[in-house]
Structure 1
Amino acid sequence: MLAAIGALALAGTTLAHAQNYGPEDEGRRFNDGSRVVCEDVEVRRSTSDPNRVGGTAAGAVIGGLVGNQIGSGNGRKLATVGGAVAGGAIGRNVQGNRQEASGDRVIETRCQRVQR
């Protein structure tokens, strides 16, 4: 019986610490000496193409087409492959810059209960 009461008391303490706190709770103090501390953190918002596959593919196609216009024979094949690789890298970079500029990162306030 005493063990069951102790287990319930421990579970109640754990549940109290699992609570969510917001900016309005910042500075709130508890009887056990803990308090709520908030901090601003930069988080990445989910995007439809986080790996930048679209930009890489489009750049590779365009680079391959441009490279195919250069040289003849084996030189043309090499220029096509080189253009595709370079175009893919450029396309990935351009898409990354656009995602960065369009605000794919936001600042969130996260609050948690901490011991002194």
Structure 2
Amino acid sequence: MNTPRYLLSVGLMSVMSAAAAQTYGPQDEGRRFDDGSRVVCKNVEVRQNSRDPNRVAGTAIGAVIGGLLGNQVGSGNGKKVAIVGGAVAGGAIGRKVQGNQQETKGDRIVERRCERVYR
């Protein structure tokens, strides 16, 4: 057979990754395996339909405001450091504020999630 070895190894790796990515559903709850593991399911509350899950808007707005506030401080090289520091701090604060808003106003649903648990 003239099949190159790398094709065989790629095929083997794809089969192994598919086996490792096994997912379980509610129909598998209680299923036991030979290694002593079993499938356990539980209800989990999750957020749904968040328009900006990465909080880009809050980070950007906070960075701009922080940079503007940093511009009001110092002179020369100190002013440049204050602008950058203000932008970084403002971005972090803006991201946190937007995250808090999304937590309180986000849509929540309950999903049944199942996973394989080892002893």
TM-score range, shorter chain: 0.5 to 0.7
Structure 1's consecutive aligned runs of 4 or more residues displaced over 3 angstroms after TM superposition are none
What corresponds to 1:51 in structure 2?
A: 54
Does structure 1 conserve the Cα–Cα contact (< 8 Å) formed by 2:47 and 2:106? no
What corresponds to 2:37 in structure 1?
A: none
Q: What is the TM-score of this pair, normalised by structure 1? A: 0.58
Pick one of 79, 82, 98 that aligns with 1:76: 79
**CA displacement, residues 48-73 of structure 1 (integer Å, 9 cap, x when unaligned):** 10000000000000000000000111
Gaps of 5+ in 1: 1-20, 22-37
**CA displacement, residues 38-95 of structure 1 (integer Å, 9 cap, x when unaligned):** 8532122021100000000000000000000001111111000000000000000000
- The CA deviation at 1:111 is 9.2
What is the one-letter code of the residue matched to 1:98? Q
Pick one of 95, 98, 103 that aligns with 1:95: 98
Does structure 1 conserve the Cα–Cα contact (< 8 Å) formed by 2:44 and 2:113? no
User: Cα–Cα, structure 1 residues 95 and 39, in superposed 2: closer, same or farther, change >3 Å?
Assistant: same
Among the aligned pairs, what percent are the same residue? 71
- The CA deviation at 1:100 is 0.2
What corresponds to 2:18 in structure 1?
A: none
SS at 2:72 equivalent: coil
Q: What is the TM-score of this pair, normalised by structure 2? A: 0.56
CA RMSD of the aligned region, Å? 2.5
Q: What is the CA–CA distance in structure 1 between the aligned matches of 2:68 and 2:113, rounded to whole Å?
A: 52
What is the one-letter code of the residue matched to 1:53? V
What corresponds to 2:3 in structure 1?
A: none
